[in-house]
Amino acid sequence: MLTILVGGFYGDEGKGKVASYLALKDSPKLALRTGSVNAGHTVTYMGKIWKLRIVPSSFVNPKVELGLAPGALTPLDILFKELKETESENRFCLDPHVGIITEEEIREEKSDEHLMRTVGSTGQGVGHAESKRVLRKLKLAKDYEELKKYLASIPDKVINYIERGYDILVEGTQGHYLSLYHGEYPYVTSRNTTASGILSEVGVGPKYVDEIIIVFKSYVTRVGEGPLEGELSEESAQKLGLVEYATVTGRKRRVAPFNIALAKEAIKINSATQVAITRLDTLFKAAYKVRDYSKLPPEAKKWVEDLEAQLKVPITLLGTGEDALDMIDLRKEKLGRG
């Protein structure tokens, strides 16, 4: 079975938490990361916190093989640093077509006034590296001697594992409304961050996909420029306990209430089969670290049930705390599995 995790808003939805939970709970054979280092995923498990930018969040399960899909981009230093931090070097592979970001692309991006000031780029060199890939000027993983021992065809590995009955988890980055093609251009990232874009970065066709889990936070956040409907003032966000900072840049995230219209559109375009909601405990403090649906406070249950009725897609996962296992898993009740 192949499952795709996709962000439903502007990134920062908690995909790292959901990916780490699914790795521990389902133990897939292989977990893949797409995207690049301009998107950070935070993983908390057994009192330890990792802020990852390229290694899959599923590393928390030592039985899971990890990989970078051909559409991904990474600098070598961040990749090697995270492999060491996660102690996952011996179960990691990357496709020969993974793009390698160098200091040159980072310098070019940081001096690009349009990207840095108007669009709000993270300055990681991703946009310039992606443009060089299109122009056929970018070096790939297969061009680096130090990566030779990690190289493997990700599409071949994925198809081989699926045909042998193994589970694959694909961790997308950022969110639907940051997609180069479907977001609010030009305030978008340099790739297609929807489920179809994630799948194209993996390099296999849609017939292999079984589940698309779209991840929403219980409220909306956005880093950088661009529209944000219903944006709260800093004072209001502070009062509600909704102040957050971006994993990669440290910039304060802009905040708005959960947006039903945006969620419905993202579900439709991504063909989502399940919904995961994170940070339920931020809206409902009594939900903190609850792992049994029956023990949720009544107002939290009502919020979830009303939301599911409007979205018309089963809400199967509810994040209630920072630890990977602080999750209410309703897949068995709603889907007959999990």
CA 173, CA 53: separation in Å to the nearest integer? 10
Which is catalytic among the residues 12, 26, 167, 323? 12
CA 260, CA 328: separation in Å to the nearest integer? 22
CA 13, CA 40: separation in Å to the nearest integer? 11
State the DSSP code for 231: P
Which is catalytic among the residues 26, 41, 95, 167? 41
Instruction: Determine how many CB atoms are found less than 10 A away from the CB of residue 209.
Output: 22
CA 98, CA 140: separation in Å to the nearest integer? 6
Please confirm, yes or no, whether 12 is among the known catalytic residues: yes
What does the DSSP assignment read for 154-206? HHHHHHHHHHTT--EEEE--S-GGG-TTTSSTTSS-SS--SHHHHHHHHT--G
State the DSSP code for 29: S
Q: How far is CA 106 from the centre of its chain?
A: 22
CA 57, CA 171: separation in Å to the nearest integer? 8
Please confirm, yes or no, whether 95 is among the known catalytic residues: no
Q: Known catalytic residues? A: 12, 41
